[in-house]
A and B are shown apart, each in its own frame.
Chain A
Amino acid sequence: MAAPLSSHAAIPRDPALRGRIVAIVLALAVLWPTLVVTEFKPWILLDEQSLAATGRFLADFLVPAHSAEFLHMLLRETWNTVAIATAGLTLALLGAIPATLVINEQLSISALGTGRMRPVARMVRQTARWLLVLLRSVPELVWALLFVRIVGLGPTAGVLAIALTYCGMLGKVYAEILESSDAHASDTLLANGSGRLSALLYGVLPEAASELMSYTVYRWECAIRGSVVMGFVGAGGLGQRMDESLKALNGAEVASMLLVFVALVALADQFSKILRRRLG
């Protein structure tokens, strides 16, 4: 038994191990103050008084509102919300796709053969990156408030707010998905003289398509939720109605609306699953 043990000792220690332990300790050390600052005390939830309040509110939820008039309104506002999310996302794509093509570093022709990009190309990429950072660092709620001031109450403000924020997010994540896919195919196409866009279409897209698609559908789902939050500040859709129902403490109506959200998110989930199966 002694022989295999000694041969084990001859293998050098894993050089990555120490770094990994340090990273875990560091992460804990950073996380602890954040819990303190946010006054994270989950046991308050189990307080007797809180439990009673929760119970009363939830009891109201048991029978969702279902009068014909309410359902009609619900259907109209749901359609409104879906329209806001879809229109906003489509506008966002109009900006995000060109931005992705600009900032993608894998498809640099000037870097081909030298490993270095032209200074001008680098500057254009960096500028586009900063623009995307600007767009997505302002929360959609703030954009919505701004646009409600400019274009007035209603869905237009919501559409514009989603378009701007999501343009920033989609552009960044699309570029990262494309850059992290295998570059061998597109590199070879570029080396054989094809253009940037053609190399993207024939080299990168087949691999990245299903991931791009599922991220887009997920963002559509987020846009639905976002449009609800923005409804609270008057940007139209289901959120505006929910704000009214919440203020009237009408638990039954809130319950019906939440059910609609669950249905919409489930729908998006199913859609994404089907798409991934088709593209995978």
Chain B
Amino acid sequence: MPTYQLQNLTVRHFGVRSSSALQAIDLTVEQGEQLALIGPSGAGKTTLLATLSLSHRPAEGSFLAFGTDPWSLGEAERHRLRAQLFLAPQTPPLPPRQRVVTAVLAARLPQWSVWRALASLFKPADPEAAWQALSRFNLGDKLYSRVDRLSGGERQRCGLARLLLSPAKALLVDEPLSALDPALSELTLVTLREEARARNATLICSLHQVDLALNHFPRIVALRDGRIAFDLPREQVTPQMIAALYQGEQPAASKPRHDDAMAVKLGVGACL
């Protein structure tokens, strides 16, 4: 049974009627498959991952996860399904004043009762597992540190160590390398892929580094302007296709446009 089957899917941002973040998405991902999402900034990679993790409801089209349409399920059942889909967002979701061991063990929350969760705040329930997960990212010595004592790259790996403790069957990782140097990037991708293979979990990883994506992932899905530009095995991806994908990407220092969408976002009123 495929992990995901998306047909002609449209996803819109909340509150904005006109703009659609993703259009005409067709995507089938088999269980255990590993694929990289590439594409320029604003192409919809993060929105696609949010949709896949059931934290964004698609507007049109058909969406199946593990063979069922989650949005036709009841709320409680859908929430149980979310425990099978682990999303690691680009900014590590770690409260600065939390201890690393607690932040990593939070992966087990869907399986824990509230009392277990409360008890684990007092005395960590399984520090051994947390330490092992952290060690795979060279962070074993940070087990009892506070999150705000970690560097940006350490926080990012700490967020991924949480992923290792989650029993989810699909791992959705958004830009795991944005704060890492080349050596750690290599280690991180290898660890993620090993973990996914070991438990036959589907791994979907959005990446800005095209060369790393091509080196590590057998299947490449490219997004541009909310549409799938190509979806191919890596052998068939040519440098011309990559160039076309990122063509017209301007450096960020372009002049701001003065259209209506901008006027709404201006800080008027009480914001400081």
Residue B227 interfacial (CB < 8 Å)? no
Cα(A194)–Cα(B271), bound, Å: 33
User: Within 8 Å CB of B89, what residues of A?
Assistant: 184, 188
Q: Distance in Å from the Cβ of B121 to the closest Cβ of chain A?
A: 6
Q: Distance in Å from the Cβ of A245 to the closest Cβ of chain B?
A: 47
Specify which of B15, B75, B84, B109 is in contact with A195 (CB 8 Å cutoff): B109
Residue B224 interfacial (CB < 8 Å)? no
Cα(A105)–Cα(B243), bound, Å: 45
Size bracket of the B interface: 35 or more
Residue B8 interfacial (CB < 8 Å)? no
User: Within 8 Å CB of A197, what residues of B?
Assistant: 114, 117
Task: Mark interface residues in B8-24 (1 if CB within 8 Å of A CB, else 0).
Answer: 00000011000000000
Contact B98 A206 (CB under 8 A): yes
Of residues 75 to 134 in B, which have CB atoms within 8 Å of A's CB atoms?
75, 79-87, 89, 91, 93-98, 102-103, 106-107, 109-110, 112, 114, 117-118, 121
Cα(A151)–Cα(B14), bound, Å: 54
Contact A192 B97 (CB under 8 A): no
Residue B266 interfacial (CB < 8 Å)? yes
Of A81-89, A109-117, A218-226, the one contacting chain B is A109-117
Contact B95 A206 (CB under 8 A): yes
Contact A198 B97 (CB under 8 A): no
Cα(A194)–Cα(B83), bound, Å: 7
Cα(A16)–Cα(B265), bound, Å: 12
Cα(A16)–Cα(B271), bound, Å: 9
User: Within 8 Å CB of A128, what residues of B?
Assistant: none
Q: Give 19 CB contacts A-B under 8 Å.
A: A16-B266, A109-B79, A113-B55, A115-B15, A184-B91, A185-B93, A187-B55, A188-B89, A189-B93, A191-B82, A193-B84, A193-B110, A194-B83, A198-B114, A201-B118, A202-B98, A203-B95, A207-B96, A280-B97
> Which residue numbers of B lie inside 8 Å of A, CB to CB?
14-15, 50, 53-57, 71, 75, 79-87, 89, 91, 93-98, 102-103, 106-107, 109-110, 112, 114, 117-118, 121, 166, 168, 266-269, 271
